[in-house]
């Protein structure tokens, strides 16, 4: 049985003794020194021995220190009393571990003295009650932020997502608290609004996860970036096509209310160039590149400089294999503009696949539909495996109820691509995965709708990278 010496006075000291008496362990024996005797309720006399004297008196304290203690805890109101008490202990016990509660500026060079700053503890506890600030465990683990508690707001991208589709690298959801009850997570468990998630992971990773959970709809193209980018290669486009692309980009800009950067490469006609420059305004930036050879380097440079969140290109540019691969590697959404009018768009079409990628980008899909005022249509090909599709439909249905955004689930026994090719106009939303970077000739015999995106090449398509 370990002997613990507790020395102190005041209200904090009395509350601490009460808490100690309520602890589970029966392996410790407590020797309590009070400057003035207090009445303590529900104290086990077999575990507590009380003494009444002034611990700043070396003579009185030295008699008690003839026993061997595992550690000493000092909780005193006056700084001078605490310092004299520690000094008395050190005369007789050079290596004894001392924990002292400090409400003052306490300079300590003794490695066996642990100073607990009361002001720091109180201020950190108050911060826990601020909105939009993560709650970090202070006294568990390393106390460096590797254990975090986060409440999930309405509109979060995590709402109504199944835990199994949330990629958790270097972090984990280890518990869910809902209606003051603990729920153990599993892959099929769905996150609800106002849930509190207990997370464990690398502190730097958890900071990013926290921001992702707190991000609400109405922010697109965030979190990818804050501005829009139109890429024009004049070697592939005539002025008439260029003008239509710019007008469509301006329509998107008006809906999303962001700055538009127009990157013109390989300008081959000065008259056309001057006509493009006429679009320049306070919210439209024109950038000209006379050598458009190193597209990837220029893209990455512009993304960093202008904080790009959505890249817009023509279908001719997206059709190029190397360009498509470069666009995929940027990890930025790409809007491929076709020859059809954009301002008349009313519907978005989403073809359900046999994986859960759509659930991973669902918040972005709803964000786009909400800001552009588009209807959402889910196409379910019934001849394919249904279990994962039903979970995605459940997820989208819950989100539609949450955001009052209607969705239409269309069940089809024929391939949805054939059905959609009969439509007049729509925007297709496609997960931007490795499947879409493959050369078209290698995908002709595939049944994967992501690989066959080019079958709907005459329609506008937006490719959204999978966010983890």
pLDDT by residue (tens digit) across 221-230?
A: 988 999 999 9
Say how far apart CA 465 and CA 308 lie, in whole Å.
14
- Computed over every residue of the chain, the mean pLDDT equals 87
Q: Which fold has domain 343-468?
A: Rossmann fold (3.40.50)
pLDDT of 325 > 70? The answer is: yes
Domains 2-122 and 220-337 share a fold: yes
Amino acid 309: pLDDT = 94
pLDDT of 337 > 90? The answer is: yes
Domain borders along the chain are 2-122, 130-214, 220-337, 343-468
pLDDT of 144 > 80? The answer is: no
> Distances from the Cα of 320 to the Cαs of 129, 229, 346, 465, in angstroms?
53, 18, 28, 18
pLDDT of 157 > 70? The answer is: yes
3-state secondary structure of 109: coil
**Would you say domain 220-337 falls under CATH 3.30.460.80?**
no
Those residues with Cβ within 8 angstroms of residue 199's Cβ, 6 or more apart along the chain or in another chain: 147, 148, 149, 150, 171, 172, 173, 174, 206, 209
pLDDT tier at 202, thresholds 50, 70, 90 = confident
Amino acid 25: pLDDT = 62
Q: For residue range 252-264, what is the model confidence (pLDDT) as tens digits?
A: 999 999 999 999 9
Query: Which CATH number, 3.30.70.1450, 3.10.580.20, 3.40.50.300, 3.40.50.10860, labels domain 130-214?
Result: 3.30.70.1450
Amino acid 353: pLDDT = 80
Assigned architecture for domain 2-122: 3-Layer(aba) Sandwich (3.40)
Q: For residue range 87-131, what is the model confidence (pLDDT) as tens digits?
A: 999 999 989 999 999 988 777 888 889 888 888 888 877 877 777
């Amino acid at each position: 049985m370990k002997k613990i010496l507790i020395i102190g006075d005041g209200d904090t000291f009395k509350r601490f003794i009460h808490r100690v008496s309520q602890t589970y362990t029966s392996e410790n024996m407590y020797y309590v020194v009070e400057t003035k005797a207090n009445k303590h309720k529900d104290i086990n006399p077999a575990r507590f021995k009380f003494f009444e004297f002034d611990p700043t008196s070396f003579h009185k304290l030295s008699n008690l220190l003839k026993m061997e203690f595992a550690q000493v805890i000092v909780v005193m109101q006056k700084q001078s009393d605490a310092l004299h008490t520690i000094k008395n202990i050190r005369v007789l016990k050079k290596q004894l571990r001392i924990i002292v509660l400090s409400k003052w500026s306490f300079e300590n060079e003794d490695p066996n003295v642990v100073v607990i700053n009361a002001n720091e503890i109180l201020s950190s506890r108050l911060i826990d009650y601020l909105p939009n600030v993560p709650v970090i465990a202070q006294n568990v683990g390393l106390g460096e932020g590797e254990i975090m508690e986060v409440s999930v707001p309405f509109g979060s991208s995590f709402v109504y997502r199944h835990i199994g589709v949330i990629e958790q690298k270097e972090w984990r959801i280890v518990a869910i608290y809902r209606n003051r009850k603990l729920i153990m997570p599993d892959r099929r468990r769905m996150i609800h609004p106002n849930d509190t998630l207990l997370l464990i992971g690398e502190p730097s990773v958890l900071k990013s996860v926290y921001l992702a959970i707190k991000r609400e709809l109405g922010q697109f193209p965030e979190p990818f970036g804050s501005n829009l980018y139109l890429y024009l290669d004049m070697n592939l486009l005539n002025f008439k096509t260029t003008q239509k692309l710019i007008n469509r980009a301006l329509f998107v800009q008006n809906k999303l209310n962001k700055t538009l950067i127009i990157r013109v490469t390989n300008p081959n006609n000065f008259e056309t160039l001057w006509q493009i420059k006429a679009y320049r305004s306070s919210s439209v930036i024109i950038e000209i590149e006379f050598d458009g050879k190193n597209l990837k380097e220029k893209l990455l440079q512009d993304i960093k400089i202008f904080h790009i969140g959505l890249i817009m290109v023509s279908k001719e540019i997206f059709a190029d294999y190397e360009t498509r691969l470069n666009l995929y590697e940027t990890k930025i959404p790409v809007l491929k503009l076709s020859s059809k009018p954009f301002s008349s768009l009313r519907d978005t079409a989403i073809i359900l696949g046999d994986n859960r990628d759509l659930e991973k980008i669902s918040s972005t899909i709803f964000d786009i539909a909400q800001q552009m005022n588009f209807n959402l249509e889910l196409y379910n090909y019934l001849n394919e495996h249904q279990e994962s599709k039903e979970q995605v439909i459940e997820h989208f249905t819950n989100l539609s109820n949450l955001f009052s955004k209607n969705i239409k689930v269309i069940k089809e026994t024929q391939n949805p691509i054939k059905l959609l090719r009969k439509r007049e106009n729509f925007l297709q939303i496609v997960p931007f995965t490795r499947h879409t970077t493959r050369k078209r000739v290698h995908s002709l015999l595939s049944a994967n709708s992501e690989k066959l995106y080019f079958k709907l090449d005459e329609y506008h398509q937006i490719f959204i990278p999978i966010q983890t």
